[in-house]
Amino acid sequence: MNSIFSFARLGALLIKEFIQMRRDRITFAMMLGVPLLQLVLFGFAINNDPKGLPTALVAMSNDQYTRAMVSALQVTGYYRFDHVTESAEEAEFLMARGDVSFVVTIPADFASRVERGDNPQILIEADATDPSAASGAISTLSTVASQALLRAQGMQAAAAEDARQQLQVVVHQRYNPEGISQYNIVPGLLGVILQMTMVMMTAMALTRETERGTMENLLAMPSSPAEIMLGKVLPFLVVGAVQVAVVLVAAKLLFDIPFVGSLTLLLSSVLVFVLSLVLLGYTISTMARSQMQAMQLTFFFFLPSLLLSGFMFPYRGMPGWAQALGEIFPLTHFLRITRAVMLKGADFHAIAAEIGWLVVFVLVFAGTALLRFRRTLD
């Protein structure tokens, strides 16, 4: 008999804990599932040297040098020419919207300059809102391009001798020329902070009522599910508004983030985003049976959305399936909106699709929450 420690008592406690663990299905599933899921997901999804980045080609002529250059860039694996256009404005718009990461412009006089030996130039504009996404692609540029040109010229007996002539690759880092990663991170943080607090706080909303026994009374009194939902959700819109103000002021004062777009447009998008978040939180609280479960479900949602949304790692660096998965998080779309509006000065037209996504999230979450809400204690 040992009064300080007994393995039998410890065993009893362990058995009890395991039984409780097994009874609490959600916790159990998450304890096993979450590490596994995240390992698999992030192990494959995260890539700091993204390849196959969508690129727009602005080609004024279709000569052999242009073709050689394009194919050389393609062979590096970094560039994927999705759009070919002759219009610089169209390319500009594609980049503002975030459809392409690069615009490669090969001027009309490229071929004649090559043949004349007169310092041919190509222009590569990179979307540097996320500096790490473009860096690999840019660093390979000049060697690849020069070699390609030499090879193309090698087939031309007349020009081959003048191998000394230099190709000029002009790189413009757009929106964030100095490659300051805070420019990328801080607007993103606006979304992340909102997501963290909004979802978690509303996820507690209903479970707290259930845990404290006040739910029974609330249900016994005349109040509709929609009233209860809005009553829980709307106060957090106010909290969200305060957070937005704090983050934006801090972005300006502490990090000196340029704000080139429309504040009204950004704030309206924030409103839709926050609404989708609080409704998501509320949906979680209709599923969770305790505050603890609500917290766990929130984190279950939180981590992948943080990692797959393009906040921490370049979105374009992820394989297709991970990008598709990233689309289901409101944060992904909100990040595109904030970066586009704050750094690129995008107008409504350019971000309409992303706002559309957020509206869809609002409707889906509100619908799910109302369907799941039990008006009775059954």
Partner 1 sequence: MNAIDVHGLVKRFGDKTVVDHVTMSVAEGEIVGFLGPNGSGKTTTIRIMCGLLTPDEGEGTVLGFNIRTESLRIKREVGYMTQKFSFYEDLTIGENLEFVARLYQLKPVGEYVARTLEELGLTSRRNQLAGTLSGGWKQRLALAACIMHKPKLLLLDEPTAGVDPKARREFWDEIHRLASGGLTVLVSTHYMDEAERCHRISYISYGKMLATGTVAEVVKNAGLTTFVVQGPQLAKVAEELQGRPGVDQVAPFGATLHVVGSDGKKLEAALADVEKEHKGVTVAPGETSLEDVFIQFMSGSKDNMA
Q: Choose the stretch contacting partner 1; rule: CB under 8 A; options: 89-97, 105-113, 209-217, 283-291.
A: 209-217
The per-residue b/e assignment along 325-358, b for 16 or more CB within 10 angstroms, e otherwise, is: bbeebbbbbbbbbbbbbbbbbbeeebbeebbebb
Q: Does 43 bind partner 1 (CB under 8 A)?
A: no
125 or 209, CB closer to partner 1?
Answer: 209
Applying CB under 8 A, among 25, 212, 252, 349 the residue interacting with partner 1 is: 212
Q: Does 377 bind partner 1 (CB under 8 A)?
A: yes
Can you say whether the dihedral through the CA atoms of 278, 250, 350, 92 is positive or negative?
negative
Which tokens in the block code for residue 35? 């590490």
Q: Choose the stretch contacting partner 1; rule: CB under 8 A; options: 157-165, 207-215, 291-299, 319-327.
A: 207-215
CB of residue 223 vs partner 1: minimum separation in angstroms? Answer: 6
| H/E element, 213 | none
* Site size with partner 1, rule: CB under 8 A: 15
Look up residue 164 and give its amino acid: R
C-alpha 242/C-alpha 236 separation (Å) is 10
C-alpha 204/C-alpha 284 separation (Å) is 8
CB of residue 23 vs partner 1: minimum separation in angstroms? Answer: 14
67 or 208, CB closer to partner 1?
Answer: 208
| H/E element, 126 | strand 121-127
Q: Does 221 bind partner 1 (CB under 8 A)?
A: yes
CB of residue 250 vs partner 1: minimum separation in angstroms? Answer: 31
Q: Does 23 bind partner 1 (CB under 8 A)?
A: no
Q: Does 226 bind partner 1 (CB under 8 A)?
A: no
CB of residue 218 vs partner 1: minimum separation in angstroms? Answer: 8
116 or 212, CB closer to partner 1?
Answer: 212
Applying CB under 8 A, among 5, 23, 164, 213 the residue interacting with partner 1 is: 213
Taking Cα atoms as reference points, which of 283, 301, 309 lies closest to residue 367?
A: 283
SS3 call for 48: coil
DSSP codes, 344-358: I---HHHHHHHHHHH
89 or 378, CB closer to partner 1?
Answer: 378
Strand arrangement, sheet containing 102-106 = 79-85, 53-59, 102-106, 121-127, 168-174
Instruction: Kindly report the number of other CB atoms within 10 A of residue 88's CB atom.
Output: 15
Q: Choose the stretch contacting partner 1; rule: CB under 8 A; options: 194-202, 208-216, 290-298, 311-319.
A: 208-216
Q: Does 222 bind partner 1 (CB under 8 A)?
A: yes
C-alpha 221/C-alpha 92 separation (Å) is 58
161 or 216, CB closer to partner 1?
Answer: 216
Place of tokens 């839709």: 272
**Residue 129 near residue 176 (C-beta atoms within 8 A):** yes
Q: Does 216 bind partner 1 (CB under 8 A)?
A: yes
34 or 215, CB closer to partner 1?
Answer: 215
25 or 252, CB closer to partner 1?
Answer: 25
CB of residue 208 vs partner 1: minimum separation in angstroms? Answer: 10
Residues that bind partner 1 (CB under 8 A): 212-217, 219-223, 375-378
